[in-house]
Structure 1
Amino acid sequence: MQTILVSDLTGQELGQDGQTVRFGFLGVDYDIDLSQEEADEFANTIQKYTDAGRRVGGRRQSGSAKTAPRDPSQTKAIKTWLDGQGIDYPKRGRLAQDLIDQWEAAHKQ
């Protein structure tokens, strides 16, 4: 069985750069499959509302953990490196921070 992630906005296959974004609005939770570019656009659009709103649940981030969205080419480079190292990771959604840390440690100059 093979799962193919398709953008809910464009209908295009997303490959490894796709992700499912979950959000809530007016008491309803939604999931939407987006490309990295679409997810970045969504995050940038909703940011002013989340900054002004009050958090009522979900995961908390420390101030240092809040970073700008990762460049899609860097995400692809990390996944390529993980594949080359034989490291298993979820093919959809965000990469775990420990995997990003491994890549960064291996690529320190």
Structure 2
Amino acid sequence: MAQKMKTILISDLSGEELGEDGQTVKFGFLGADYEIDLSQTESDVFASTIQKYVDAGRRVGGRRQSGAGSTTRRDPSQTKAIKAWATEQGIDYPQRGRLSQDLVEKWEAAHRS
């Protein structure tokens, strides 16, 4: 007999069910590793808040999330967000397969402020 399991993410901030918008964000602070489930909007706020500290800090380990030759997979909800943003901006992108690094960088730059 086959079974199908479904994981439903709940925002750790708002307590709301996230559906397709949800993602788990992993981060470290003061030597401890953390995970938090966030909506895309909450994740964007988190990323923009922490970005100035990341830019000023020194990388000491971990895997890079993007770049040439990377085998790290992007979170599917982030890929969906990038595609939605590209569509809103009128940017063509492949409907199947890997997103170009140029498109990912444009999305990151647009969501950095």
> Which TM-score band (shorter chain)?
0.5 to 0.7
User: Matched residues, percent identical?
Assistant: 62
Where in structure 1 are there 5+ consecutive unaligned residues?
63-68, 78-84, 88-96, 105-109
Cα RMSD of the aligned pairs, angstroms, is 3.2
TM-score using structure 1 length: 0.59
Pairwise CA distance, 1:59 = 2.4
Task: State yes or no: 1:3 paired with 2:13.
Answer: no
Matches within 5 A, 1:50-65: 50-60=54-64, 61-62=66-67
User: Where do residues 13-24 of structure 1 align in structure 2 (5 Å cutoff)?
Assistant: 13-24=17-28
Corresponding residue SS for 1:40: helix
Q: TM (normalized to structure 2)?
A: 0.57
Query: Partner residue of 1:32?
Result: 36
Runs (4 or more) in structure 1 with deviation over 3 Å come to 69-73
Q: Distance in 2 between matches of 1:19 and 1:2?
A: 14
Residues of 2 paired with 1:71 and 1:16: CA distance? 9
Distance 1:70 1:18 in 2: 12
